[in-house]
Structure 1
Amino acid sequence: MTDTLHRSERVPEAMAGQRLDQAASAIFSDFSRERLKAWIKQGALTLDGGQARPKDKVYGGEHLELHAELEEDNRFEPQDIALNILFEDDEVLVIDKPAGLVVHPAAGNPDGTLLNALLHHCPELASVPRAGIVHRLDKDTTGLMVVAKTLTTQASLVEQMQARTVAREYDAVVTGVMTSGGTVDAPIGRHPKDRKRQAVTATGKPAVTHYRVVERFRSHTHVRCRLETGRTHQIRVHLAYRRFPLVGDSVYGGRLKLPPAANEGLKELLRTFPRQALHARKLAFVHPTSGREMSFRAELPDDLLMLLDYLRDDHESMR
């Protein structure tokens, strides 16, 4: 089974000097760079109406035209994995992702992922790139994700993501007591020494996170974050950069800090909390066909509710 794909975009001036395949992978971010390179070589992705090479430089303002036959991707097996579906119609699917569920297969997780579950729930997603996944959550981050069920819907959602009109809000519990909210505007890219991590770096991509205080405890803070951009590990990196790492973050959390004179129950919970304390609580976007504003909320999962209860009890006991 094949589906016809037709998309056109302008190269932003900010991409001047980049390779064509590099620029294309940023513009058409729902496709892999390798697939885009193949389309460039085949002439299915043209530059100002003509065929180009993946290594050709762009100068900004050029017209990219993508016209290709998209075949079903049979690399991944459908798997009967339970999904918590909050909304579904012919165009979109909104889910509340649990902790421990990887979004997309990779070297360390070849199956058992959200993508495998989506292919089982909706087999026609085999003809949509990445089974309709347009944004990701880390394996151990819980909460809301939207999935596109058609190519047209996927293009619309990707465009909304790039235009920063998709509202995404997260709850987090961090180590340290914040005096007020704020904004972190700091570029994020690969860590210069550890390729598996991200870091604030001058050569990174622009990244903006707004945060505000929900509740303060003796040594921790419950914060609410709003994303302008969607870089890998953005909230985790930005809050650690501000010296307020997420509770349970084994990558960016640093040395464990326990509240002085805390009871053994809280100490044990903080020592063993199995994941970064991060939850995607709110998601809002414009429905690609109806044009209606869609807004969803996901309640905090039990493990974060328990963590907040322990921190609240500890705070009250010392007053």
Structure 2
Amino acid sequence: MPQILEAQQRVPVSLAGVRLDQAAAELFADHSRERLKGWIKQGALTVDGLAGKPKDKVAGGEWLRLVAELEDDTRFEAEDIPLDVVHEDDEVLVINKPAGLVVHPAAGNPDGTLLNALLYHCPTLAMVPRAGIVHRLDKDTTGLMVVAKTLTAQTALVDQLQTRTVSREYDAVSVGVMTAGGTVDAPIGRHPKDRKRQAVTANGKPAVTHYRVVERFRAHTHVRCRLETGRTHQIRVHLAHQRFPLIGDPVYGGRLKLPPGASEGLKDLLRGFPRQALHARKLAFDHPASGERVEFRAALPDDLLMLIDYLRDDREAML
């Protein structure tokens, strides 16, 4: 049976002049813009009790009310893909994502994704938008993700992401030796010439990354990053912007740099490292049911442990 979804939001003055479907996407962020656009056309999403069109402009102060049937989403197939489950209860699922696993089906990756795996692991997720996925990791980034198992949990987690009360911390290994940690406060948006890339750009969305040095090597740094915002490729873009790109990053990594006098083993590892050296190590949020603060950690995966060991051995060999 379909679930009845009811929600209401007031349009802030800051959204005055934007399209109704854009405003709805901002205010009902746990639903895709396309789905919201369909509900507007059906009259399921109204403005001060009246039907509207997606292209209508909002003035600010209006009440958007959503009353819609949420049908079982059968667009995607459930697939028996193993999941590393760190925690699971009635409201949330926390997983440790491996490298190589795409989070959501898209052009070029129609199946074999985390979403397909989630639908197999928990079939009721078919009733939750995007199978409960509220944030993403890049295909080759490893580590922790939280998935909402109910609409209520999804709304609560999306709200926490918007208010920046979800804490996300990452381990990364960058090219270059950092003298100290710091904060990058630089807006991120689409690259002006390459639509597949992100870039620090004046008209981008606000983005803040805090980072600190964990360990320095001869030509690289193990760094720990904490996200204040969650833009696409944020850590990768921000550290590259600081001229400390991640080892193995195929998009933002720049030219390969090898430490002078490095062993053949380290050279081979740096040349062939198959992904950006980035791992979501810690995740904390307020549990949607209890309100209690919960925290989860995931140890470094074997490939990053090996990389750090080689870099440490290289440093010690040159002392």
2:73 aligned partner: 73
Alignment of 1:247 with 2:247, yes or no, is: yes
Displacement of 1:31 in angstroms is 1.7
Any idea what SS the aligned residue of 1:240 has?
A: helix
Any idea what SS the aligned residue of 2:70 has?
A: strand
Partner Cα distance (1:314, 1:144) in 2: 30
2:101 aligned partner: 101
Alignment of 1:178 with 2:178, yes or no, is: yes
Partner Cα distance (2:232, 2:32) in 1: 16
**Range that drifts further, 272-281 or 15-24:** 15-24
Whichever residue aligns with residue 78 of structure 2, its letter is P
Partner Cα distance (1:305, 1:209) in 2: 23
Displacement of 1:179 in angstroms is 0.6
Query: Which structure 2 residues correspond to residues 55-94 of structure 1 after superposition, within 5 A?
Result: 55-94=55-94
Query: Which structure 2 residues correspond to residues 279-298 of structure 1 after superposition, within 5 A?
Result: 279-298=279-298
Partner Cα distance (1:66, 1:138) in 2: 32
TM-score, normalised with respect to structure 2: 0.98
Partner Cα distance (2:14, 2:220) in 1: 40
| Alignment deviations for residues 62-99 of structure 1 (CA, whole Å, 9 cap, x no partner) | 32222111001001000000000011111100000000
Q: Which runs of 5+ in 1 are unaligned?
A: none
Displacement of 1:17 in angstroms is 2.4
Partner Cα distance (1:174, 1:64) in 2: 45
Partner Cα distance (2:13, 2:173) in 1: 39
Whichever residue aligns with residue 88 of structure 1, its letter is E
Whichever residue aligns with residue 40 of structure 1, its letter is I
Whichever residue aligns with residue 35 of structure 1, its letter is R
Displacement of 1:32 in angstroms is 1.6
1:10 aligned partner: 10
Any idea what SS the aligned residue of 1:46 has?
A: strand
Alignment of 1:209 with 2:209, yes or no, is: yes
Partner Cα distance (1:170, 1:316) in 2: 25
1:300 aligned partner: 300
| Alignment deviations for residues 219-255 of structure 1 (CA, whole Å, 9 cap, x no partner) | 0001100001111100001110111000000000011
Alignment of 1:220 with 2:229, yes or no, is: no
Any idea what SS the aligned residue of 1:103 has?
A: coil
| Alignment deviations for residues 195-221 of structure 1 (CA, whole Å, 9 cap, x no partner) | 111111111111111001000111000
Partner Cα distance (1:14, 1:182) in 2: 31
1:116 aligned partner: 116
Partner Cα distance (1:68, 1:203) in 2: 35
Any idea what SS the aligned residue of 1:184 has?
A: strand
Query: Which structure 2 residues correspond to residues 126-275 of structure 1 after superposition, within 5 A?
Result: 126-275=126-275
Partner Cα distance (1:257, 1:61) in 2: 54
Partner Cα distance (1:113, 1:131) in 2: 11
Whichever residue aligns with residue 159 of structure 1, its letter is D
**Range that drifts further, 295-304 or 33-42:** 33-42
Alignment of 1:47 with 2:55, yes or no, is: no
Partner Cα distance (1:173, 1:289) in 2: 36
Any idea what SS the aligned residue of 1:173 has?
A: strand
**Range that drifts further, 3-12 or 257-266:** 3-12
Partner Cα distance (1:62, 1:258) in 2: 58
| Alignment deviations for residues 130-164 of structure 1 (CA, whole Å, 9 cap, x no partner) | 00000000000000000000111100000011010
| Alignment deviations for residues 234-291 of structure 1 (CA, whole Å, 9 cap, x no partner) | 0001110111000000000011111111111111100000000000000001111111
Whichever residue aligns with residue 30 of structure 2, its letter is D
Whichever residue aligns with residue 142 of structure 1, its letter is T
Partner Cα distance (2:71, 2:221) in 1: 48
Partner Cα distance (1:13, 1:315) in 2: 56
Any idea what SS the aligned residue of 1:307 has?
A: helix
Any idea what SS the aligned residue of 1:258 has?
A: coil
* Cα pair distance change 1:264/1:61, threshold 3 Å: farther
Whichever residue aligns with residue 318 of structure 1, its letter is M
TM-score, normalised with respect to structure 1: 0.98
Displacement of 1:28 in angstroms is 2.0
Partner Cα distance (1:169, 1:211) in 2: 9
Whichever residue aligns with residue 104 of structure 1, its letter is H
Partner Cα distance (1:7, 1:318) in 2: 62
Any idea what SS the aligned residue of 2:312 has?
A: helix
Q: Which runs of 5+ in 2 are unaligned?
A: none
